[in-house]
Amino acid sequence: MEQETRQKIEETVKDMLSKADMEEMTEFKVRVTASEWLGIDLSDFSHRKFIRELVESFLLSTVEENVDGKQPNSKPVKDQIPN
């Protein structure tokens, strides 16, 4: 895969994930949507592997940002416990 293609895929996937509802998004949806946006067939093994790596990297970075026990746009965990 060419470096320019890898860069386009990476930018598209990161942008998509940053705006996505992570409760609904799947790796398959990411790959199909990126394929449609870019007009590139991303179904071969090397593309699937690359997109999987991007998704995993994004998820890990999200977890690292939230290690303080909070989830984005939510109440602190202690405020979620019923009395």
Indicate yes or no: pTM above 0.75: no
| Residue 76, CA distances (Å) to 18, 39, 64, 66, 70 in order | 22, 42, 16, 11, 5
- Count: domains in the chain: 1
Share of the chain above pLDDT 90, in %: 64
Tell me if 73 is assigned to some domain: no
Q: Give the residue numbers spanning the domain of 32.
A: 3-65
Tell me if 28 is assigned to some domain: yes
- Give the pair of three-digit tokens for residue 7: 């860069």
Tell me if 72 is assigned to some domain: no
Tell me if 83 is assigned to some domain: no
pLDDT-derived band of residue 69, with 50, 70 and 90 as boundaries?
low
